[in-house]
């Protein structure tokens, strides 16, 4: 009976939490938006409170975390720095309680790295997962992407990809991708291959939609970078402005920029947007 009681308590807590969350969502939207992120009980205390049911408590805390993020995003409310720290600490505790649980690591990559910009923290959580999920090639793959795309550390990214390539079930293109990093550097075409894999792994509908939006904008960047490369090869110079690619026939039209920004480029041939590919971008009105 003593073994059944803790699990029963946690199941009841989980049921109450889901029920209350639903009521708040439907009836008290304003109050829901004003609810603070809350406090995360440190792992050493959470293990004690779990009463031997670490896996169940891990599931409960993970559900609480994704419900919190979904509530903020679904209401169009940007997460504050405190909110993101709550998410980070929650995922840290979730993976301490159950380090073999895959979903928190995917969420770490999809949210902490992309949305929060907490690259070091995301890589630390992913490295924790590698210590337990020793045959999971996707964890070093995610770390490699962060090193490549956000940190611009191409040497470290190549090494991480080679680690991933040696693990069971890894796709054959990883070694080629590692070589591509060394050759192309931070071109959008390389990032596109990383992001396609991340989208394929995203089970949560909200996160998948956000990643697909980024995938769309990267696909647009690739089209424009390829047109820019052809222009430079033929003309021996960079265009004055990107619109020159259309005027000279290298590009039919600008791809849609789903974040609402304006396409720009740098002298290295990278195409960006003034939105920085972030939701909630508000274009500045011209005087």
Which has the closest alpha carbon to 88: 57, 109, 71?
109
What is the per-residue pLDDT across 105-117, written as a single tens digit (0 to 9) for each?
999 998 899 889 9
What is the per-residue pLDDT across 171-208, written as a single tens digit (0 to 9) for each?
887 877 777 776 566 567 777 877 787 787 777 787 78
Going by pLDDT thresholds of 50, 70 and 90, the confidence category of residue 5 is very low
Whole-model pTM? 0.65
Give 193's contacts (C-beta < 8 A, 6+ positions apart): 173, 177, 180
Is the pLDDT at 284 greater than 80? The verdict is no
Tokens at 64, concatenated: 């609480």
Going by pLDDT thresholds of 50, 70 and 90, the confidence category of residue 283 is very low
> In this structure, what DSSP letter does residue 273 have?
E
Could you tell me how many residues make up the chain? 287
What is the per-residue pLDDT across 118-141, written as a single tens digit (0 to 9) for each?
999 999 999 999 999 999 999 999
Q: In whole angstroms, how large is the CA radius of gyration of the chain? A: 22
**Which pLDDT score, from 0 to 100, does residue 86 have?**
87
* Residues 87-100, mean pLDDT to the nearest whole number: 90
Q: Could you give the CA distance from residue 43 to residue 128 in angstroms, rounded to a whole number?
A: 14
Q: Could you give the CA distance from residue 190 to residue 182 in angstroms, rounded to a whole number?
A: 10
Q: Could you give the CA distance from residue 274 to residue 267 in angstroms, rounded to a whole number?
A: 16
Could you tell me the residue ranges of all domains in the chain? 1-132, 135-203, 218-287
Contact at 8 Å (CB) between 261 and 273?
yes
- Pairs from 37-40 (Cβ < 8 Å, separation ≥ 24): 37/68, 37/80, 37/82, 37/83, 37/85, 37/86, 37/87, 38/68, 38/86, 40/86, 40/89, 40/90, 40/92, 40/93
What is the per-residue pLDDT across 219-252, written as a single tens digit (0 to 9) for each?
898 899 999 999 999 999 999 999 999 999 999 9
């Amino acid at each position: 009976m003593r073994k059944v009681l803790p699990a029963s308590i946690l199941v009841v807590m989980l049921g109450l939490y889901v029920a209350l969350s639903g009521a708040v969502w439907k009836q008290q939207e304003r109050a829901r938006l004003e609810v603070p992120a809350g406090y995360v009980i440190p792992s050493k205390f959470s293990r004690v409170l779990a009463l031997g049911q670490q896996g169940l408590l891990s599931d409960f805390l993970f559900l609480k975390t994704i419900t919190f993020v979904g509530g903020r995003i679904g209401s169009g409310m940007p997460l504050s720095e405190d909110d993101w720290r709550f998410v980070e600490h929650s995922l840290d505790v979730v993976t301490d309680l159950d380090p073999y649980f895959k979903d928190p690591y995917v969420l770490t990559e999809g949210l902490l790295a992309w949305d929060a910009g907490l690259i070091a923290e995301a890589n630390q959580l992913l490295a924790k997962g590698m210590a337990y999920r020793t045959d999971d090639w996707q964890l070093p793959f995610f770390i490699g992407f962060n090193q490549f795309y956000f940190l611009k550390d191409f040497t470290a990214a190549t090494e991480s990809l080679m680690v991933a390539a040696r693990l069971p079930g890894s796709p054959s293109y990883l070694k080629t991708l590692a070589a591509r990093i060394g050759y192309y550097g931070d071109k959008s075409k390389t990032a596109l291959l990383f992001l396609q894999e991340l989208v394929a792994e995203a089970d949560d509908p909200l996160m998948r939609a956000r990643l697909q939006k980024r995938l769309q904008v990267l696909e647009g960047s690739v089209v424009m970078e390829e047109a820019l490369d052809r222009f430079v090869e033929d003309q021996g110079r960079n265009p004055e402005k990107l619109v020159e690619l259309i005027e000279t026939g290298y590009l039919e039209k600008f791809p849609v920029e789903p974040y609402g920004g304006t396409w720009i480029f740098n002298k290295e041939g990278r195409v960006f947007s003034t939105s920085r590919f972030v939701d909630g971008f508000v274009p500045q009105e011209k005087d």
